[in-house]
A and B are shown apart, each in its own frame.
Chain A
Amino acid sequence: MRMRTLLAGSVLVGLAASFAAPALAEDSVYIQLPTYRTGPYAGSGIHIANGMSDYLAMINERDGGVNGVKIAFDECETGYDTQKGVECYEQAKAKNTLVFNPWSTGITLQVIPKSSVDKIPVLSMAYGLSAAADGNTFPWVFNPPDTYWDGLSAIIKYIGDQEGGMEGLKGKKIGYIFLDAGYGREPIPLLDNLAQKYGFEVLQYPVPGKEMQNQSSQWLSIRRDRPDYVVMWGWGAMNPTAVKEAVKNRFDMSKFIGVWWAGGDEDARAGGAGAKGYKSVSFNNVGADYPALQDIKKLVVDAGKSHTPANTVGENLYNRGVVNAVYMVEAIRIAQEMTGKKVINAEDMRVGLENLKIDEARLEAIGLKGMIAPIEITCANHSGHHSLFIQEWDGEKWTPATDWFSPMTEEVTPILMQASKDYATSNAPWPTREDACPAN
């Protein structure tokens, strides 16, 4: 009898110790990274996931975290599936994540209403709901540096430049090939507005999600319609297929322009030599020569602490994953400064994101000067309409084709505000912002 009590006692003590152990560990904050390394979108998702986790791991290795606070992070596999996304979100909530990065428009739409209730900021970097840029209506959602509408307006602006000014667009035919889902459909209202304003014609070529890898009918129509330019809104397996089809149909690649999510290295590489000249709008440069990326290589990838193949460091989507992690780390740093706390919580993180400001000097300090443009998020504007540039595939890698230029903010803002108002009314009673943005 005594023996049994003793045994039970020691087991209990052991259990208690194993539960208590994490509490004794050093200061840390937790971030869950919902990623997808499986499924039809894994081709794009793997690089993003690698970039995010490698940068966070590097910060932990090199600096011992942010101001001494380690970032504990793990991945949750969503497979780009909204059912799994909800599950990951519930897990993240239970483990007190600082911020949730859905990496899928569908999952973003699901978590937007929950974010203000659960007080978890949603960082949907250049995807998700464009209207969420309105910080007055969506205090918990952030989509820097640009919305889809900014991206589209930048592409149209670029096409205008190629045609010798916006008046050159008159009478032109612009094809729009898109993933037939919320993601691909969102830019259409703005595209129609711009078509009316500048007098060009829009031809739509929807690609259903389950036929992403078979676009022959869409490209046959494109061959028949002979649009002057084709703009693409694709993701995952849709992109390499489209590039391949464009090459096969001898479409002039220099007039084929994708959104930033259609700008993966593997997307363009799929077209072989013929893909030379393919363009995509972007908000981050490629290459691994930046000091921060060198640190990742040295401390994480070459040290065997990551699954990333060394040659993919510096690719477009990898760098974009790094940018997403940079935003999070900088927001943590700013939140620490503003609240005076070392270990911040999700509500502090929201404040950090809302005051996120990365200027040239800070970029230099981070070690990413030149890779991204400086960004600033304000209380009222959670996206910022930042400058973009067009990059071109030279057959081997992406090279910048233009300088940084700003999107057509004056076109985007009105429909963005309208959309955010519509969202709030159709989801009434939509919670109002607790602390109003200062009017300016």
Chain B
Amino acid sequence: MFYREAGQYKTSYAADQQIFPIRQDRIGIAVILVIALLLPLAASEFMLSAIAIPFLVLALATIGLNILTGYAGQLSLGTGAFMGVGAYSCYKLVTIFPEVNVIVHILLSGTFAAAAGVVFGLPSLRIKGLYLAVTTLAAQFFLEWCFIRIPWLYNYNSSGAIEVPGREVFGTLITGPAASGTARYYVVLAIVVVMTLLIKNLIRGRVGRQWMMIRDMDIAAELMGVRPLIAKLSAFAVSSYVCGVAGAMFVFFYLGASEPAVFSITLSFQVLFMAIIGGLGSLVGSFFGAAFIWILPILLRVGLPALGVDVAAETVFQVAQMVIGALIIFFLIVEPHGLARLWAIGKEKLRVWPFPYA
């Protein structure tokens, strides 16, 4: 009844090709954006710093992995390491060129991650599937080893960790300990929204279609004139770029300082689970997945005691883990293609509501 496109006529190519062809979708996105913009007015510092910022950053990392695994079909277990490359190169850039705007550094640091991604993506031209997962695993271990063993990367700190210095943009402190949650949140939101928009267009265009052709059947794609070298390596490059930017933001806007252990295989799996739960090959799914894996446990941990259920901290922690595990299995049984597919089904149902014809 409300969600119908009847009567919405497209009279130009531009109108026909827009990202959200249905008016209700455009209204929905606008409402979400307004809520996101107004969130700092209502949310506490805890909500911004511990929930909203990491959620957005991890959603971006999930988008990065989704490009590679969901759209181009190349399984990767090296996401954590590529995020680490972004974080460490951003740290080096910020300390070497302190006068340059830190946002420029964050966007630049992705290119280093992209370079690393291309190098470790080379084997993908010869091997596929689980075998490729093993080589990306090698990237994970090798890069993590570098973060520990190359002291130049952390400026010979005795602590072996990278620390985020305070930097201002337009007179507002946006990184470092003194930056307010609101300032950090807006920067993260802006970067994530702009990058998501760019990725969306990339995927709708020629490059994205090539990736999907490679994913669906690489031989057929090659016969139709898609060059696997370019398509696969560009997928690795773009994916690692996005992951690198996410990694830099993870340290600069969320953690504040980080040891190499942050970028361990655990992070790679965390992001991979977000991509799978959310739905491979879906941008909105990346946000769903990140919300599911990041926000739900926090809500359970904060929510259970607030409801008056008085249990020990570690019990809450373990219960949250078990509930998440059970929900993952439940959702994957109900819909193997992830939350994004559930969302799509819901939208289809809504279109014919209240008079379903089937």
Residues in chain A within 8 A of chain B (CB atoms)? 35-38, 74-77, 79, 82-83, 86-87, 90-91, 93-94, 105-106, 109-110, 112-114, 116-118, 129-131, 180-182, 185-186, 189, 208-210, 307, 419, 422-423, 426-429
> Are the CB atoms of A109 and B50 closer together than 8 Å?
no
B150 shortest CB reach to chain A, Å:
12
Nearest CB of chain B from residue A14's CB, rounded to whole Å: 14
Q: A83-B54, A426-B163 are in contact. Are A91 and B46 (CB under 8 A)?
A: yes
Q: A113 near B177 (CB under 8 angstroms)? A: yes
- B335 → A minimal CB distance (Å): 28
Decide if A86 touches B255 in the complex (CB within 8 Å): yes
Residues of A near B241 (CB, < 8 A) are: none
B44 within 8 A of A: yes
With contact pairs A86-B256, A106-B259 given, residues A37 and B45 touching in the complex (Cβ less than 8 Å): no
Chain B 35-52 residues near chain A, CB threshold 8 A? 44-46, 49-50
Q: Among B26-34, B284-292, B311-319, B337-345, which stretch is in contact with chain A?
A: B311-319
Q: Chain A residues with Cβ under 8 A from B155's Cβ?
A: 426
B261 touches A94 (CB 8 A): no
**Contact (Cβ within 8 A) B260 A427:** no
CB atoms of B177 and A75 under 8 A apart? no
A427 touching B158, Cβ below 8 Å: no
B24 contacts the other chain (CB 8 A): no
Chain B, interface residues (CB within 8 Å), range: 35 or more
B165 & A427 in contact (Cβ 8 Å cutoff) = yes
Q: In the bound complex, do residue B314 and residue A77 qualify as a contact, i.e. CB atoms below 8 Å apart?
A: yes
Q: Which one of A83, A208, A429 has the highest number of Cβ atoms from chain B below 10 Å of its Cβ? A: A83
Q: How far is the CA of A420 from the CA of B46 in the complex (A)?
A: 30
Instruction: Judge if B166 is at the interface, Cβ distance under 8 Å.
Output: yes
Provide the residues of chain B in CB contact with A419, threshold 8 Å. Answer: 158
Q: Is the CB of B46 within 8 A of A110?
A: no
What would be 27 A-B contacts, judged by CB atoms less than 8 Å apart? A35-B314, A75-B312, A76-B313, A77-B314, A77-B316, A77-B317, A82-B255, A82-B261, A83-B54, A86-B255, A87-B50, A90-B45, A93-B46, A106-B259, A109-B161, A109-B257, A110-B256, A113-B164, A113-B177, A181-B160, A181-B261, A185-B160, A186-B158, A186-B160, A419-B158, A426-B163, A427-B163
A113 cross-chain contacts in B, Cβ below 8 A: 163-164, 176-177, 256-257
Residues of chain A within 8 A of B50, CB atoms compared: 86-87, 90-91
B46 to chain A, nearest CB (A): 5
| B264 & A210 in contact (Cβ 8 Å cutoff) | yes
Residues of B within 8 A of A208 (CB): 148
In the complex, what distance in Å separates the CA atom of A87 from the CA atom of B177? 15
Interface string of B239-267 (1 = CB under 8 A from A): 00000000000000011111111101100
* Contact A209-B261, Cβ < 8 Å, known A113-B176, A186-B158: yes
Min CB gap A185→B, angstroms = 5
Question: Known contacts A82-B261, A86-B50; can you find 13 more A-B pairs with CB under 8 A?
Answer: A37-B314, A38-B317, A79-B317, A90-B49, A105-B159, A106-B259, A109-B159, A109-B257, A113-B176, A117-B178, A181-B261, A189-B158, A209-B264
For the complex, give the distance between the alpha carbons of A427 and B163 in Å: 7
**B45 / chain A contacts, CB cutoff of 8 Å:** 90, 93-94
Q: A91 vs B305: C-alpha distance in the bound complex, in angstroms? A: 13
**In the complex, what residues of A have CB within 8 A of residue B178's CB?**
117
Within 8 A of A (CB), among B141-159: 148, 155, 157-159
State in angstroms the CA–CA spacing of A38 and B261 once bound together: 17
Report whether B254 and A86 are in contact in the complex, using a CB–CB cutoff of 8 Å.
yes
Least Cβ–Cβ distance between B116 and chain A, in angstroms:
20
Shortest 5 CB-CB contacts between residues of A and residues of B: A37-B314, A75-B313, A182-B160, A113-B177, A77-B317
Q: Contact flags (1/0) for B301-315 with A, using CB distance below 8 Å? A: 110010000001110
Residues of B contacting A129 in the complex (Cβ-Cβ under 8 angstroms): 159
Say if the beta carbon of B15 comes within 8 Å of chain A. Answer: no
Residues on the B chain within 8 Å of A117, using CB? 177-178
Cα distance A243–B106 when bound, in Å?
44
B258 partner, pick from A76, A82, A105, A209, beta carbons under 8 A:
A82
B49, B161, B254, B313: the one within 8 Å of A74 (CB): B313
A residues less than 8 Å from B201 (CB atoms): none
The answer to whether the Cβ of B95 comes within 8 Å of any Cβ in the partner chain is yes
Please tell me if the beta carbons of A106 and B157 are within 8 angstroms of each other in the complex.
no
Question: Is B298 located at the chain interface by the 8 A CB criterion?
Answer: yes
In the complex, the answer to whether A182 meets B166 with C-beta atoms within 8 Å is no
Query: Known: A114-B256, A181-B259, A428-B165. Is A91-B302 also a contact (CB below 8 A)?
Result: yes
Given A37-B314, A82-B258, A307-B312, CB of A109 within 8 Å of CB of B46: no
The residues of A that contact B256 with a CB separation of less than 8 Å are 86, 110, 113-114
Residues on B with beta carbons closer than 8 Å to the beta carbon of A106? 161, 258-259, 261-262
**Given A74-B313, A113-B163, also A82-B262 (CB < 8 A):** yes
Query: CB-CB < 8 A to B148: which residues of A?
Result: 180-181, 208
**Closest A-chain residue to B258, C-beta based?**
A82
Q: Which B residues are CB-close (under 8 A) to A83? A: 54, 255, 262
Assess A109 versus B317: contact at CB under 8 Å? Given A114-B256, A189-B158.
no
CB proximity of A400 to chain B, nearest CB, Å? 31
CA distance in complex: A87, B314 (Å): 15
A73 to B257, CA, bound (A): 27
Instruction: Tell which of B166, B302, B313 touches A35, judged by Cβ atoms closer than 8 Å.
Output: B313
- What 1/0 flags go to B163-190 for Cβ under 8 Å of A? 1111000000000111000000000000
Most buried by A among B54, B178, B258, B261: B261
Partner of A38, one of B259, B265, B314: B314
Docked-complex contact B258 and A181, CB < 8 angstroms: no
Q: When the two chains form the complex, which single residue of A86, A90, A105, A426 contacts B95, counting CB atoms closer than 8 Å?
A: A426
> Once the chains bind, are B259 and A182 in contact (CB under 8 Å)?
yes
Q: How far is the CB of A50 from chain B (nearest CB, A)?
A: 11
* Neighbouring B residues of A189 by C-beta, 8 Å: 158
Interfacial chain A residues near B54, Cβ < 8 Å: 83
* Closest Cβ–Cβ distance, residue B183 to chain A (whole Å): 13
Beta-carbon contact of A109 and B259 below 8 Å: yes
Q: Complex Cα distance A423/B256, Å?
A: 15
Quick check: A87 and B264 within 8 Å, CB to CB?
A: no
- Which of chain B's residues have a CB closer than 8 A to the CB of A79? 317
- Tell me whether B165 and A110 are in contact (CB under 8 A): no
A185 to B147 alpha-carbon distance, docked (Å)? 13
User: Which chain B residue shows the least CB distance to A94?
Assistant: B46
Interface centre among B44, B161, B165 (most CB of A within 10 A): B161
